[in-house]
């Protein structure tokens, strides 16, 4: 059974289409990453899956429960870390864990044990008695991850969990997610802007744009789908560039070769492995190589390939002229 | 129940971690008592009255004597003799005097002849309250002369002696029910629904909505914590404001009276908490709560009879006072505090407050939006 399944999910806000038919199936135990530019609909999709908003049309099931008809059941099996920091500043880390555990009806003993275990794992046990207001951004995030797991959910959903964190805290969060995944047998769905985050963590990656899934595969699978390959740049000081390029093009792993002054720009599959053969061959021909650089294909290339370069002009959020930001969003729109 | 308790506990913890808010919630109603008690006084004092004596005869001297005795006694007036009528009138216009009494020439002659004689009383009509007080005081001061055919050139009145049927109550004591209601209002305004608005404003509510909490768990938890906090605040305010105005509650109140007072406070709080949930159900910015707070306080407080009696209101305001829950709270508290009344005297108030509370909380729960 799929842990998360959606069929032709559509969400419209007035004239704006946030989701234009998303069909997705995430198997149990998968670590699924959802990539996409700002305004692609990632948060809208997450909010539908977590019962916070109703889809305009389409079907979606989380752990086998319908997110519209079976809200209560969905809520009890998912753990969610929202994009914004959402812990009460006036409470201590321990109190937040305990209060959330009570929301799920956990008995006292179990609450204490679970809270203790999780706070130790996220490294907040010593600070559990301090107000959240005294925590750093990274600590709050770790607390929120622990909070999302307090009731031993089957599925953990994180909306840009490392946004705004320093590289140290980001790596800590990644390690935590790996750790929880193996100990709790979780299915994890995560949205992110950070390509290295998806490359490092995810089994499968879906790329969203304009409210649709435009590509979905493993990281390696996605890389194979795009035309651009690894690029090897070879700078030569004393040689006929056309002759060198002619020879390079005969190699089977090379897809193209261009000349830029005294530099050969070679597009090759498995760039790192191609370097020794290229260097040896050119040396044998008598070329004097002064510099070799390798630009490996990254998930970012994949991302740009599927979503294009232009920056997304997001629909400006409408704010009431009379009341500023202080009106119900429904009236303000 | 567990979920409701968790919300309840969360709010109490958050409240006690804001000692400044706790202190202000207690202090502000008491400062209201001191300020209101001293600015709206029951009887006005030291109103400057200019007397222009154009007569100088024995009856004019008698008028002056009567006015002087009024000045020395109840201190309503501060009498000043002015020789020139024009000067006195310009003083009246400038607000130096609240009234000018003119004793016309030939006044003593007319009085002794038994002819109709008149005194001229010029009043500053722009200040109705002090004008009425001066008029009343002058009429009361000259009963002897009026019997001798001196008519003040104003409408005649029958003078009624006040008979107070309950033990003597000072004006600032009569404000106590209003001050308690104000404490309840402030409590209801700053707990319960306000916490919901803050959670919404800070984006914290999102993480609550992700849990199995129901609409009812959230609203009931917030109302219950607000109720406990507000009730305790109101009782402390009641106790302190009584001490300040010189009442010793432990001597006045029976156990039944105290329990009834607590019941009135609880019912009033519940009603106002529910009302706040209806009004703030969809507000997401504390600034709007600030603006609404001042407005709501005035429109519920002043027509409640806490300061001026409802009987003197125009019909439309009376109609509003009839549905204003604070009217019933003030009435019940006044009866329980000063008249030693039992349940039978406040049963109508209790029934109204109960119905209001049930309807307000039910509508407040419906108005609460458990979605983003």
Q: List the CATH number of the domain containing B155.
A: 3.40.1710.10
> What are the start-end ranges of the H helices in B245-342?
249-252, 255-280, 286-301, 315-323, 325-338
Cβ–Cβ gap B204/A105 under 8 Å: no
Give chain B's domain count: 2
Q: What single string gives the DSSP state of each residue in B185-203?
A: HHHHHHSTHHHHHHHHHHT
CB B27 within 8 A of CB B70: no
Give B92 to chain A, closest Cα distance, Å. 47
Using the Cβ of B2 and the Cβ atoms of chain A, whether some distance falls under 8 Å is answered with yes
Tell me what ipTM this predicted complex has.
0.81
Set of chain B residues whose Cβ sits within 8 Å of the Cβ of A52 = 206, 209-210, 371-372
Considering only the beta carbons, identify the residue of B5, B211, B288 that sits closest to A104.
B211
* Min Cα–Cα distance to chain B from A150, Å: 11
Residue B11 lies in a domain: no
Do B112 and B187 lie in a common domain? no
Q: Assess contact for A239 and A286: CB atoms under 8 A.
A: yes
Between CA B271 and CA B266 the distance in angstroms is 9
3-state helix, strand, coil split of chain A in percent (to 5) is 40, 30, 35
> A80 and chain B: CB distance < 8 Å anywhere?
yes
pLDDT at A322 (0 to 100) = 66
Residues of chain B with Cβ-Cβ distance to A102 below 8 Å are 2-3, 5-6
Q: Does residue B98 fall inside a structural domain?
A: yes
B196, two tokens? 């919901």
CB contact under 8 A, B212 and A75: yes
- Where is the domain boundary, B164, B186, B209? B164
How far is Cα A38 from Cα A311, in angstroms, rounded to an integer?
9
Chain A residue numbers touching B210 (CB-CB < 8 A): 50-52, 75, 78, 80, 82
B210, A326: Cβ pair inside 8 Å?
Answer: no
Q: Which one of A68, A100, A102, A150 would you mutate to disrupt binding with B, by most B Cβ within 10 Å of its Cβ?
A: A102
Instruction: Quote the minimal CA–CA distance from A258 to chain B in Å.
Output: 53
**Is residue B6 in some structural domain?**
no
Q: Which residues 252-291 in chain B show a CB within 8 A of chain A?
A: 282-285, 287-288
What is the residue whose two structure tokens read 């308690």? B180
Place of tokens 């090759």: A268
Which range is least confidently modeled, B114-123, B277-286, B331-340?
B114-123
What pLDDT is attached to residue A113?
Answer: 94
DSSP state of B76: -
CA distance linking residue A100 with residue A81, whole number of Å = 13
A57 has a chain B CB within 8 A of its CB: no
**Residues of chain B with C-beta less than 8 angstroms from the C-beta of A84:** 203, 206
Residue B230 and residue B266 share a domain: yes
Verify that B81 and B186 share a domain, yes or no.
Answer: no
Q: How confident is the model at residue B123 (pLDDT cuts 50, 70, 90)?
A: confident
E strand or H helix at B303: none
Asked whether residue B2 is assigned to any structural domain, the reply reads no
Residues B292-306 have a mean pLDDT of: 89
Residue B182: name the closest of B296, B346, B335, B290 by CA.
B296
pLDDT at B250: 78
Q: What is the model's pLDDT at position A194?
A: 87
pLDDT of residue A323: 61
A320 band by pLDDT with thresholds 50, 70 and 90 = low
Same domain, yes or no, for B202 and B69? no
State whether B106 and B211 are in the same domain: no
Q: For residue B165, what pLDDT is reported?
A: 47
Each residue of B131-173: pLDDT tens digit? 777 888 877 777 655 554 444 444 333 344 444 445 445 666 7
Whether residue A272 lies within 8 A of chain B, CB to CB, comes out as no
Q: Do B10 and A72 touch (CB under 8 A)?
A: no
Q: Which of B144, B164, B184 lies at the terminal end of a domain, its last residue?
A: B164
Residues B155 and B187 in one domain: no
The token pair at B132 is 């009425």
How would you label A62-74 residue by residue, b for 16+ Cβ within 10 Å and e otherwise?
bbebebeebbebb
Q: Are residues B213 and A324, on separate chains, in Cβ contact within 8 Å?
A: no
User: How many residues can be counted in chain A?
Assistant: 333
Q: What's the CA gap between B182 and A34, in Å, rounded? A: 53
Q: Give pLDDT, residue B155.
A: 39
Same structural domain, B89 and B175: no
State the Cα–Cα distance between residues A130 and A20, nearest whole angstrom: 45
SS3 content of chain B, % helix, strand, coil (to 5): 65, 5, 25
Q: Tens of pLDDT along A236-269?
A: 888 888 888 888 888 888 888 888 888 888 888 7
Q: Tokens 């007035």 label which residue?
A: A14
Q: Is B271 part of a structural domain of the chain?
A: yes
Distance CA A297, CA A299 (A): 7
Asked if B30 and B125 sit in the same domain, the reply is no
Confidence at residue A330, expressed as pLDDT on a 0 to 100 scale? 45
**Domain check: are B176 and B245 in the same one?**
yes
**How much is the average pLDDT of B11-26?**
88
Query: Quick one: pLDDT band at residue B75, thresholds 50, 70, 90?
Result: confident
What is the pLDDT, as a whole number, of residue B363? 94
Q: Does A95 touch chain B (CB under 8 A)?
A: yes
CB-closest option in A76, A86, A324 to B203: A86
Residue A329: is its pLDDT beyond 60? no
Which residues of chain B have a CB within 8 Å of the CB of A80?
207, 210
**Structural domain of residue B175, as residue ranges?**
16-40+171-367
pLDDT recorded at residue A333: 33
- CA-only gyration radius of chain A, Å: 25
CA B264, B270, B274, B279 torsion: positive or negative? positive
Q: What does residue A259 show for φ and ψ, rounded to 5 degrees?
A: -110, 130
Test A99 with B207 for CB contact under 8 angstroms.
Answer: no
pLDDT in tens, B45-55: 788 888 888 88
B347 lies within 8 A of chain A by CB = no
Residue B191 has pLDDT above 80, yes or no: yes
The pLDDT confidence band at residue B355, using thresholds 50, 70 and 90, is very high
Chain B: closest CA distance from residue A230 (Å): 43
| Whether residue B187 is found in the same domain as residue B265 | yes
Indicate whether B142 and B259 sit together in one domain: no
How far from B338 is each of A142, B42, B98, B166, B168, CA to CA, in Å?
58, 17, 35, 8, 9
CA of residue A61 relative to chain centroid, distance: 21
- Which of A5-14, B34-43, B295-304 comes out lowest in average pLDDT? B34-43
Q: What tokens does B66 get?
A: 């009567």
Q: Report whether pLDDT(A331) > 50.
A: no
Total residue length of chain B: 372
User: Does residue B27 sit within a domain?
Assistant: yes
Using pLDDT thresholds of 50, 70 and 90, give the confidence band for residue B42. low
| Residue of chain A nearest B14, judged by CA positions | A90
Work out whether strand A2-13 and strand A16-27 pair parallel, antiparallel, or are unpaired: antiparallel
- Determine the distance from the C-alpha atom of residue B308 to the mean position of all C-alpha atoms in its chain, rounded to a whole number: 6
Taking an 8 Å cut-off on Cβ atoms, the answer to whether A328 and B284 are in contact is yes
Of the candidates B3, B204, B288, which has its C-beta nearest A326's C-beta?
A: B288
Does any domain span residue B252?
A: yes
Q: Decide if B50 contacts B91 (C-beta within 8 A).
A: yes
Task: Give yes or no: residues B222 and B295 share one domain.
Answer: yes
- pTM beyond 0.80: no
Q: Check pLDDT > 80 for residue B207.
A: yes
Domain presence at residue B196:
yes
Of B164, B183, B212, the domain-final residue: B164
E strand residue ranges, chain B? 47-53, 77-81, 99-103, 117-123, 150-152
- Report pLDDT digits (tens) over A100-124: 999 999 999 999 999 999 999 899 9
Using alpha carbons only, give the angle B83, B46, B147 rounded to the nearest 5 degrees.
70
- Tokens representing A2 are 């799929």
* Predicted confidence (pLDDT) per residue in B86-105, tens digit: 888 888 887 788 888 888 88
Please state, for a pLDDT cut of 90, what percent of chain B lies above it.
27
Query: Tokens for B150?
Result: 């001196």
Chain-chain contact of A105 with B3 (C-beta, under 8 angstroms): yes
A105 interaction partners in chain B (CB closer than 8 Å): 2-3, 212
């Amino acid at each position: 059974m799929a842990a998360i399944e959606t069929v032709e999910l559509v969400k419209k806000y007035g004239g704006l289409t946030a989701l234009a038919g998303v069909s997705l199936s995430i198997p149990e135990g998968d670590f699924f990453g959802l990539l996409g530019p700002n305004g692609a609909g990632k948060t809208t999709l997450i909010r539908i899956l977590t019962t916070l908003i109703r889809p305009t049309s389409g079907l979606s099931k989380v752990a086998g429960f319908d997110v519209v008809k079976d809200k209560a059941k969905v809520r009890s099996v998912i753990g969610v870390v929202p994009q914004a920091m959402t812990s009460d500043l006036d409470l201590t880390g321990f109190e937040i864990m305990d209060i959330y555990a009570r929301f799920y009806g956990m008995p006292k003993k179990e609450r204490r044990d679970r809270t203790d275990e999780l706070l130790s794992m996220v490294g907040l046990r010593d600070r559990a008695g301090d107000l959240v207001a005294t925590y750093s951004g990274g600590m709050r995030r770790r607390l929120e991850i622990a909070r999302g797991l307090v009731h031993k959910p089957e599925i953990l959903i994180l909306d840009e969990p490392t946004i705004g964190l320093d590289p140290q805290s980001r790596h800590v969060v990644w390690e935590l997610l790996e750790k929880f995944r193996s100990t709790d047998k979780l299915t994890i769905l995560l949205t992110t802007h950070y390509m290295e985050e998806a490359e490092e963590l995810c089994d499968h990656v879906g790329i969203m744009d304009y409210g649709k899934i435009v590509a979905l595969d493993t990281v390696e699978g996605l890389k194979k789908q795009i035309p651009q390959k690894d690029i090897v740049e070879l700078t030569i000081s004393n040689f006929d560039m056309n002759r060198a390029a002619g020879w390079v093009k005969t190699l089977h792993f090379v897809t193209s070769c261009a000349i830029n002054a005294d530099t050969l720009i070679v597009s090759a599959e498995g760039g790192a492995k191609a370097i020794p053969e290229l260097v040896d061959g050119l040396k044998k021909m008598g070329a004097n190589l002064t510099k070799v650089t390798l630009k490996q294909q990254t998930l970012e290339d994949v991302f740009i390939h599927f979503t294009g370069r232009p920056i997304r002009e997001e629909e400006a959020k409408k704010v009431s002229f009379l009341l500023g930001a202080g009106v119900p969003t429904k009236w303000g729109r | 129940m567990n979920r409701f308790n968790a919300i309840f506990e969360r709010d109490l913890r958050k409240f006690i971690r804001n000692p400044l808010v706790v202190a202000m919630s207690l202090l502000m109603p008491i400062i209201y008592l001191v300020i209101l008690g001293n600015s709206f006084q029951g009887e006005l004092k030291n109103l400057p009255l200019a007397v222009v004596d154009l007569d100088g005869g024995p009856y004019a001297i008698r008028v002056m004597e009567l006015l002087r005795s009024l000045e020395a006694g109840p201190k309503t007036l501060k009498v000043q003799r002015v020789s020139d009528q024009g000067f006195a009138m310009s003083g009246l216009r400038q607000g130096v005097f609240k009234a000018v009494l003119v004793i016309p020439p030939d006044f003593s002659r007319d009085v002794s002849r038994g002819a109709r004689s008149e005194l001229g009383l010029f009043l500053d009509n722009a200040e109705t309250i002090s004008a009425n007080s001066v008029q009343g005081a002058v009429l009361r001061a000259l009963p002897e002369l009026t019997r001798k055919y001196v008519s003040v050139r104003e409408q005649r009145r029958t003078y009624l002696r006040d008979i107070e049927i309950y033990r003597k109550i000072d004006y600032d004591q009569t404000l106590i029910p209003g001050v308690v209601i104000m404490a309840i209002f402030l409590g209801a305004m700053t707990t319960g629904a306000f916490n919901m608005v803050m959670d919404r404003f800070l984006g914290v509510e999102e993480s609550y909505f992700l849990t199995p909490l129901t609409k009812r768990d959230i609203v009931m938890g917030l109302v219950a914590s607000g109720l406990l906090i507000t009730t305790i605040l109101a009782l402390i305010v009641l106790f302190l404001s009584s001490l300040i105005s010189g009442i010793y509650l432990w001597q006045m109140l029976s156990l039944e009276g105290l329990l009834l007072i607590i019941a009135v406070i609880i019912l009033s709080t519940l009603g106002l908490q529910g009302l706040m949930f209806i009004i703030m159900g969809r507000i997401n910015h504390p600034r709007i709560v600030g603006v609404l707070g001042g407005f709501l306080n005035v429109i519920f407080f002043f027509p409640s009879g806490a300061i001026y009696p409802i009987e003197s209101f125009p019909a439309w305001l009376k109609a509003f006072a009839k549905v204003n829950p604070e009217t019933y709270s003030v009435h019940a508290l006044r009866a329980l505090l000063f008249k030693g009344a039992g349940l039978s005297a406040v049963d109508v108030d209790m029934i109204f407050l109960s119905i209001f509370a049930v309807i307000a909380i039910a509508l407040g729960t419906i108005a609460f939006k458990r979605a983003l």
